[in-house]
Amino acid sequence: MTEVLSEQMGSGSHAGALLEVDNLHVEFRTRAGVAKAVNGVTYSVDAGETLAVLGESGSGKSVTAQTIMGILDMPPGKIAGGEIRFRGVDLLKLPEDQRRKIRGEGISMVFQDALSALNPVFPVGWQIAEMFRMHRGTSRGEAKKKAIELMDRVRIPAAKERVNDFPHQFSGGMRQRIMIAMAIALDPEILIADEPTTALDVTVQAQIMGLLAELQRDSNMGLILITHDLGVVADVADKIAVMYGGRIVENAPVYDLYKNPAHPYSKGLLESIPRVDHKGHELYAIKGLPPNLLEMPTGCAFHPRCPYRRDNCVTDAPPLYTISGTRGSACHYWREVIDDGEH
Amino acid sequence: MTANTESILEVRDLVKHFPLTQGVVVKRQIGAIKAVDGVSFDLHRGETLGIVGESGCGKSTLAKLLMALERPTSGSVRVNGKDIAAAKGGELKRMRRNIQMVMQDPYTSLNPRMTVGDIVGEPFEIHSDVVPKGGRRRRVQELLEVVGLNPDHINRYPHQFSGGQRQRIGIARGLALQPEIIICDEPVSALDVSIQAQVMNLLERLQNEFDLAYIFIAHDLSVVRHISDRVAVMYLGKLVELGSDADIYDSPTHPYTQALLSAVPVPDPEGRETRQRIILQGDPPSPANPPSGCHFRTRCWKAQDICAEQTPALEVRPGSDHPSACHFAEARDVVNAQ
């Protein structure tokens, strides 16, 4: 796979990380106006690294992922600026046939809802084998054999007997395994997992997260984990990007963020979750509602809900201030937030 | 949340089997889905009983049985001493006034063609003697205010509200008839994290204000711990463990409870490399054909011959002070184990 890509994209050597999203802007044209779903998102992932993108619904985390994959619906979506560099090459400038090669072989994706992501009228083995037939021109028999191997690798019991079963014949956890098998079929260098365990029970979630970690270790993939679950993130992430209103409001190595958040939103999130390890008293609740993308607040998008708000927050949008080489916070008063204490 | 010990709801040996049939013209019963298979517990006035379990374990069927939306195959549900499962007609209607429900999905449980005022006021149409006609609108506005919504929004439609606000509308509807018991079936699972906290705080405030008893059904163990006074763990239609929140979370004795708790990710990366996890293999068996004896034995690491032969009763066993349905019940702190 590496040779195929480096052939296309010149030499494999380039400065910077494996995948870099640089100042990406995505808008949706709707009848009610322009919704700015992504407003200048920048993040990067390297081989073997796990980046968790944390945010609530509407924060733009999934739209960013869809733009990386090149599966954004356009229109209504529109990329209004920025670059997505994979091995130093801007994907947004590549013609569709080359992007199609990268999809699956370079970067691939696991979706949240496996039941609607799989085709209900084809056997699962056929759907996994399709990856080989389409991308590699493998013969049907050979592709099916590889599909069975993959189903074994993601630990579907009795893979040989189940290869001709349809998606509805599998449980939720097994379906998610099939999605993962399809995503890793062509040994991608980057795997994007968009809420891979949200629809699953905790015991199954633990199985799937374990499987993803193991696959990542084996093939040294870069993993982008998109989620709203602070527990899952704490378990697997190396670094975290917290998104709010289409922007990254804080990025940090995982230990730093949980120990001492530098943005009022991350701090509020950490304080608002109930814990299984102690009971606690009343939960801290971030007041108000997430912003409407059609009418974003002026200045900092978080200011209507923020306990640290001052007058300039309403007028000046904070840049992503650098705290240290690996940390940044988009809050004018990040020093105060950090000083307010460790967790 | 000081729970006294007066039982307001007594559930005894509750069973619900859904028949599986075969044949089009002549239907034959070929089996049954044992959704709820012998559940007993008490709910005290003013307390919260959390019910946790994975999808398919029968939590929601249990909720429907308590509301008498489904008729049990056998067993009884006594509300203030009267069996709601056997009540009919006018008597059932009167009993339902005392036990109301908040649904999981605020997007589908509110009729999009009714205004908020109509939705919250609908219980008064059915139970027309609660509030006289002239006072209903004012009463609805009071209810909206109680749950933290703007009373002036009484003429708006559900789509004009966010998910968290819609859940508040559902809660206002549940409160309308001033019930003593509210059954919350996954009330926060469809909401964002920051909104979850708002709704949970609201539920706690209402409980103190109106002395409500909650049955709080959820699959999120952290949420259940936060809100519950006592917790029941359910697996394949049976309760496997029942105790105070400290009993269940700090010294669980049933292997299933232990596995469930250890699978919950802790939102703190500190010590994650050394954290010990019990990872269960496979999926729960089908409730149409549960294993003999202990239902959990097929995934249990302690299973021995006796587990296939004898169904363990939910009872207090030596070495522990709360009931557990395991022959080899033994306390083990899995949450704080590092």
Tell if the CB–CB gap between A234 and B265 is shorter than 8 Å: yes
B272 touches chain A (CB under 8 A): yes
Q: Decide if A208 is inside a domain.
A: no
Q: Decide if B78 is inside a domain.
A: yes
Q: At what angle do helices A140-153 and A124-136 cross, to 10 degrees?
A: 120
Chain A contacts in chain B segment 273-332 (CB below 8 A): 277, 279-283
Residue of A nearest to B261 (CA): A276
Range A114-139 average pLDDT:
88
Dist CA A337 CA A223 (whole Å):
29
- The predicted pLDDT at position B173 comes to 92
Q: Decide if B265 is inside a domain.
A: yes
CB nearest to B193's CB, from A206, A228, A279: A228
Q: Decide if B256 is inside a domain.
A: yes
Q: What's the order of all strands across the beta sheet hosting A77-86? A: A33-45, A19-30, A77-86, A89-90
Supply the DSSP string of A46-60, one letter for each residue. -TT-EEEEE--TTSS
Tell if the CB–CB gap between B267 and A273 is shorter than 8 Å: yes
Reduce the DSSP state of residue B291 to 3 states and report it.
coil
Interface test with B, best of A176, A203, A205, A284 (most B CBs within 10 A): A203
Q: Decide if A298 is inside a domain.
A: yes
- The predicted pLDDT at position A7 comes to 45
Range B250-260 average pLDDT:
91
- Low-confidence winner among A190-204, B78-92, B195-209, B276-290 (lowest mean pLDDT): B276-290
Q: Which of A104, A62, A106 is nearest to A226 (CA)?
A: A62
Dist CA B195 CA B203 (whole Å):
13
∠ CA A222-A228-A230, nearest 5°, is: 85
Contacts of A254 in chain B (CB under 8 A): 269
Tell if the CB–CB gap between A157 and B282 is shorter than 8 Å: yes
**How is residue A319 written in tokens?**
């840049």
Range A288-301 average pLDDT:
85
Tell if the CB–CB gap between A275 and B245 is shorter than 8 Å: no
Contacts of A205 in chain B (CB under 8 A): 263, 265
Contacts of B166 in chain A (CB under 8 A): none
Q: Decide if A237 is inside a domain.
A: no
- The predicted pLDDT at position B267 comes to 84
Tell me phi and psi for residue B33, to 5 degrees: -85, 115
- Cβ-in-10-Å burial (0-12, 13-18, 19+) of A42 comes to middle
Supply the DSSP string of B235-246, one letter for each residue. ETTEEEEEEEHH
Tell if the CB–CB gap between B225 and A274 is shorter than 8 Å: yes
State the nearest Cα–Cα gap between B180 and chain A, in angstroms: 23
Global pTM reads 0.83
ipTM: 0.77
Q: Which residue has the higher pLDDT, A283 or A44?
A: A44
Q: Residues A189-231: pLDDT tens digits?
A: 999 999 888 877 888 888 888 888 888 988 899 999 998 888 8
Number of domains in chain A: 1
| Share above pLDDT 70 across residues of chain B, in percent, rounded to a whole number | 98
Q: Residues A98-121: pLDDT tens digits?
A: 888 888 889 999 988 877 888 999
Range B189-215 average pLDDT:
88
Summary mean pLDDT of chain A:
86
Dist CA A203 CA A199 (whole Å):
12
Looking up residue B224, the CATH number of its domain turns out to be: 3.40.50.300
Q: Decide if A323 is inside a domain.
A: yes
| Residue located via tokens 């982008």 | A224
Tell if the CB–CB gap between A285 and B269 is shorter than 8 Å: no
Range B28-34 average pLDDT:
84
Contacts of A282 in chain B (CB under 8 A): 201, 204
CB nearest to A283's CB, from B54, B201, B261: B201
Q: Report the DSSP beta bridge partners of residue A327.
A: A324
Residue of A nearest to B269 (CA): A234
A282 touches chain B (CB under 8 A): yes
Q: Decide if B119 is inside a domain.
A: no
Q: Decide if A337 is inside a domain.
A: yes
Q: Residues B114-143: pLDDT tens digits?
A: 999 999 999 998 888 888 888 889 999 999
Question: Residue A335's domain spans which residues?
Answer: 261-343
Tell if the CB–CB gap between A273 and B263 is shorter than 8 Å: no
pLDDT at A280 over 80: no
CB nearest to B226's CB, from A56, A173, A280: A280
A255 touches chain B (CB under 8 A): yes
Q: Decide if B233 is inside a domain.
A: yes
A115 touches chain B (CB under 8 A): no
Residue of B nearest to A232 (CA): B265
Q: Which residue has the higher pLDDT, B281 or A165?
A: A165
Residue of B nearest to A233 (CA): B267
Whether omega for the bond prior to residue A75 falls within 30 degrees of 0, making it cis, is yes
State the nearest Cα–Cα gap between A235 and chain B, in angstroms: 6
Number of continuous H segments (helices) and E segments (strands) in chain B:
10, 12
Range B204-233 average pLDDT:
91
Q: Decide if A248 is inside a domain.
A: no
Interface test with A, best of B162, B192, B207, B230 (most A CBs within 10 A): B192
Question: Using 50, 70 and 90 to split pLDDT, how confident is the model at B3?
Answer: very low
CB nearest to B225's CB, from A229, A259, A279: A279
Contacts of B336 in chain A (CB under 8 A): 277
Question: Residue B82's domain spans which residues?
Answer: 7-98+179-324
Number of domains in chain B: 1
A97 touches chain B (CB under 8 A): no
Interface test with A, best of B104, B194, B251 (most A CBs within 10 A): B194
Q: Residues A47-90: pLDDT tens digits?
A: 989 999 998 888 888 889 999 998 888 888 889 889 999 988 89
Dist CA A306 CA A327 (whole Å):
21
